[in-house]
Chain A
């Protein structure tokens, strides 16, 4: 018996020796380090980028692939704690308020294989891709407060000053004075985002805010007001599409950082990318009108004949540069309304009256600030849905002014005879307003980072690189091209999971450099880009 026990002991020894173990297992202390930072309670502040908003909506898998969530998984190997997020209820992304849908479903990429007839008569299969809203009824109810705060405090739509705005999470303030995403987890009707963040007593924070302080203006084609021009400092007087005054941004940002660092927390801040690096502004060309287009091409001669009369009037009035002409051989620029031009409606009406009769008043008003777009203009992504389409409001208006249905139709085509409105075009003056504000905001962000010894990630440079040549990864090159590039989701503004992975790596580098931390990076190739589905509306 004694002998048997000894044999058993030998056998047991064999079993124990059988478990493989690495010389330097990564889950043991000493491989990664937090340096001077403490990742045990990481809170992320920001807007849609921080929340993981993508494809025009906030949905679970987007949240799971948000840069703060990816970062927290890396932190977990260097003392990081649990990271919670206010997950939506589904992957549709829309949401309801009181049972009525107030937020749209996400976009997915629809693919359709169609027969295409070549000039020689042969038929080939062609695949047509298009972003479309995913079909389905959202299950997230905004008014169901989740009852606690979360490590990810990214609030889609938030501007810098919203983070400190009381009642921003008050359901009664919807839709204008409150934010539906914050309503879901605000700790009280009176609280602010920053108060709920600070109350969690973070040991480490990230802050990426300010994008919407310029983006609202930019994505709306500059219909809002630039408060660097008006000098208005009080955000309570700002509209949603306005540019925040740079001094307002600066003081707001300093207050946010002061609140976050009050308990000695370390953190990382990110600057704001150039809007010209976003496919939302670079996808629709300024000259999209092709003579090969079946509805536009045949109209070119009559359009040019009509515009010839207008062009003579422009020349007569000393503004020949406003001439409009369409090429029969190459793509032409759209006609836009440039609100920075002197309005010559009255003079134009006067000059046109002899040849156009009663129509002259209408033409004068329609083309008083019109010109053809140039490569200096940025057409927003949403313009692609209207260019070449009939503007039905204008059509009805013209008919009511006494034009025949046919005449009215001829003068109501978006971008061809009805100049594209302000909301579809970011003209150079508007771009300058956006860029000037961005440069000022970024100067504030960087100086605050330096002054507080915070890690700073120049994400703007990386996104500019993505838009100009791309960034290599193990599966090729990731670029800013819409749909195919890999950086941007189907809304043309928000990043894909793969881009969130790139941002995570940039943040990690900054944290390592500033705090002496040692963290593993992530492989962007393991993160997806856009989602295919034909379950669309």
Chain B
């Protein structure tokens, strides 16, 4: 009963995090349950993502963590001056992660991670009021990363490795607010590309001043996805030489996956209790504009002007029994989107995350990890002011409110 109360407390106190822009912070079930903290937590192979330097401090020779979350997101929009309202199709994203580490000897561990830190899936009703900005978008980036972890002393380790990214995008929107074919069907453009690859890297360090106190540092580099020769489809344009022809052409565009710096600490203040704090700095200022150059000569320039943003994460772990660990977390997530640049393709403002979860050890080697998070957004009156018709900026305004909820399940295996 006491445990249940505790869990309820976790559930109520822990609202969870997603991050601003198209960063999706769901890179491990155990970390997720603790507010996605982990840069200074030595717990599982999730360290491949959170802090490779810490892998070498894992007790076991082989550690594997794998998991998936179902992210249920909803965004609602309304403009009371115009009496219009809309709601995104409740999309379900399924970020996956797989991590493994192998301790070669006392001072060296190797690891491999596959994870999806960036992505977005937003589907508005086709031809809704903001359809000149987006009808639907689906972005995904899969990171594949080998890492090395080297112990310099009982107190200090370093780690890192190269990152291979493969990304895909599918984005549809209407050509403008009014263009149609003869039957009134809205002219629209879809861009689609996959297998957009590039490389990046990460470095990290872990410092353990005492047995129960750890400090962590991690930096993941910026990676620019450059789509070249992707497929663009123009549909429902009227038959006229002054507008693009229907059919397919190519497109080039760049999408940045910004760099992220994390520093944090964990403190085991009781043999059963551990508290963690992470600070993320996301370098979104690289995302200045989404510019699409089409093979048929058309261009689409979409200023974004994101700013760097911070996330403050708090996590708590309680080892209730030898088999069950309970976790909870809370975080404050700043949006990188500046006022006036609030585009409905990534309609996120500042949010608070509440998370919770537990691990259950089926055997001493195998544990099930469950997590969930709930992301709470205040409703916000915002606009995107940089859409143009005839050289004139035409704001798209309204009130938005989002929410995200993600239950996740994973397995941890150690040998």
Contacts and interface: CB of A to CB of B under 8 A. Distances in A.
Nearest to A17: B374
Contacts of A31: 80
Interface string B165-183: 0000000000001111011
Given A19-B74, A526-B178, A32 B377 contact: no
A508 B242 CA distance: 36
Interface in B367-384: 372, 374, 377, 379
Contacts of A520: 80-84
Contacts of A23: 379
Contacts of B405: 14-15, 17-18
Interface in A10-44: 10-11, 13-15, 17-27, 31-32
B153 interface: no
A81 to B, nearest CB: 16
> How many B residues touch the partner, as a band?
35 or more
A6 B4 contact: yes
A193 to B, nearest CB: 27
B253 to A, nearest CB: 26
Interface string B396-415: 00010111110100000000
Nearest to A13: B11
> How many A residues touch the partner, as a band?
35 or more
B298 interface: no
B208 interface: no
A18 B85 contact: no
A74 interface: yes
Interface stretch (A287-295, A392-400, A527-535): A527-535
B395 interface: yes
A61 interface: yes
A10 B74 contact: no
Interface stretch (A106-114, A173-181, A234-242, A346-354): A106-114
Contacts of A527: 178
B129 A526 contact: yes
Contact of B407 (A11, A22, A529): A11
Given A24-B80, A26-B78, A523-B82, A14 B11 contact: yes
Interface stretch (B25-33, B329-337, B386-394): B386-394
B184 interface: yes
A219 B159 CA distance: 84
Interface in B5-38: 7-8, 11
A463 interface: no
Given A20-B403, A474-B394, A475-B390, A531 B182 contact: yes
Contacts of A22: 76, 78, 379, 399, 401
Contact of A61 (B74, B180, B241): B180
Contact of A474 (B11, B129, B395): B395
A150 B409 CA distance: 57
Nearest to B406: A18
A521 B82 contact: yes
Contact of B83 (A15, A32, A61, A535): A32
A519 interface: yes
Contacts of A19: 74, 403
B240 interface: yes
A476 interface: yes
Given A14-B374, A108-B182, A520-B80, A26 B85 contact: yes
Contact of A26 (B80, B238, B374): B80
A61 B78 contact: no
A127 B11 contact: no
Nearest to B390: A476
B374 to A, nearest CB: 6
Contacts of B182: 91, 108, 134, 531, 533, 535
A498 to B, nearest CB: 8
B243 interface: yes
Given A525-B177, A525-B394, A532-B238, A26 B74 contact: no
B201 interface: no
B318 interface: no
Given A111-B241, A532-B242, 11 more contacts: A6-B4, A14-B11, A19-B74, A20-B379, A25-B78, A127-B241, A520-B84, A525-B394, A527-B178, A531-B180, A535-B239
14 contacts: A6-B4, A15-B72, A22-B78, A22-B401, A25-B78, A32-B83, A91-B183, A91-B184, A111-B242, A475-B394, A519-B83, A528-B180, A532-B238, A533-B239
